[in-house]
């Protein structure tokens, strides 16, 4: 039996995912969570084999939740669920510790296939995303300037683009303000930007954050 924890802030999405999984005798939905903090508590309590994680949750980012889930239990497999299909989201979530990445528009059969694949210790990417990444490698080019960032730098960037202060980011990531500041200035260097405003504008231009 494969135990699954579903994490999404939309109840209808959680109901849909539960319905798909419960059609199969080898799946058990251990619990559902509507935010990252709840997901971390339920992961500790329920010990799921797989966490289906919406990466666009309010509060803790998908990157931070993935990082903490893997830190708490190396055996748990995280499958990121997102509407984002473009680089650098898939690569950075995998780098953060996710075992799979699915678009929310994927067929139900692909969701089931992904869960079974990661439980075997393999990685799984939605077919459309896998094709895009393969083309990038073949062409030897990066599809966005953010490809050079590490998963932790990407997480800091997203919070900077949301307007969060260094102290707030440090609190969320359980890091010192000095460490967060170091990450931020590395981001400046890699993106050749000079301010939070520049970073935010670039993130908006590439669709990483919503425009106002």
- How much is the average pLDDT of 116-144? 72
SS3 content of the chain, % helix, strand, coil (to 5): 55, 15, 30
Considering the four listed CATH numbers 3.30.70.1890, 1.10.10.10, 3.30.413.10, 3.60.15.10, the one that applies to the domain covering 145-205 is: 1.10.10.10
Cα 38 from Cα 192, distance rounded (Å): 37
Nearest 5°: the CA angle 26, 113, 85 is 140
- How much is the average pLDDT of 192-206? 88
Cα 187 from Cα 181, distance rounded (Å): 10
Give bridge partners of residue 31 from the DSSP assignment: 5
Query: Quick one: residue 26, left, alpha or beta (phi over 0 = left, psi -120 to 50 = alpha)?
Result: alpha
CA distances from residue 200 to 78, 204, 205 in whole angstroms, order as listed: 28, 6, 9
- For 83-117, write each residue's pLDDT tens digit: 877 667 788 888 889 999 998 888 999 999 999 99
Q: What pLDDT score was predicted for residue 139?
A: 46
| Residues 108/147, Cβ–Cβ less than 8 Å | no
What topology does CATH give the domain 2-138? Rossmann fold (3.40.50)
**Domain limits of the chain?**
2-138, 145-205
Q: What pLDDT score was predicted for residue 144?
A: 72
pTM: 0.80
pLDDT classification of 143: cutoffs 50, 70, 90: low
- For 11-70, write each residue's pLDDT tens digit: 999 999 999 999 999 999 999 999 999 999 999 999 999 999 998 888 888 888 999 999
- For 154-192, write each residue's pLDDT tens digit: 889 989 988 899 999 999 888 999 999 999 999 999 999
Q: What pLDDT score was predicted for residue 108?
A: 93
Q: What pLDDT score was predicted for residue 138?
A: 45
């Amino acid at each position: 039996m494969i135990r699954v924890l579903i994490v999404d802030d939309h109840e209808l999405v959680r109901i849909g995912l539960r319905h798909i999984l419960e059609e199969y005798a080898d799946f058990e939905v251990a619990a559902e969570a509507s935010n990252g903090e709840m997901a971390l508590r339920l992961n500790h309590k329920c010990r799921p084999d797989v966490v289906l994680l919406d990466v666009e949750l309010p509060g803790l980012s998908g990157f931070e939740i993935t990082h903490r889930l893997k830190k708490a239990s190396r055996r748990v497999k995280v499958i990121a669920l997102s509407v984002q299909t473009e680089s650098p989201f898939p690569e950075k979530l995998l780098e953060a510790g996710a075992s799979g990445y699915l678009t929310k528009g994927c067929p139900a059969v692909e969701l089931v296939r992904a869960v079974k694949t990661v439980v075997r210790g393999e990685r799984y990417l939605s077919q459309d995303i896998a094709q895009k990444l393969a083309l990038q490698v073949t062409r030897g080019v990066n599809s966005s300037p953010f490809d050079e960032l590490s998963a932790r730098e990407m997480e800091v960037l997203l919070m900077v683009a949301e307007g969060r202060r260094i102290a707030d980011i440090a609190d969320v990531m359980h890091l010192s303000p000095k460490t967060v500041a170091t990450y931020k200035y590395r981001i400046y260097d890699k993106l050749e930007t000079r301010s939070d405003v520049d970073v935010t504008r670039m993130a908006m231009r590439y669709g990483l954050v919503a425009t106002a």
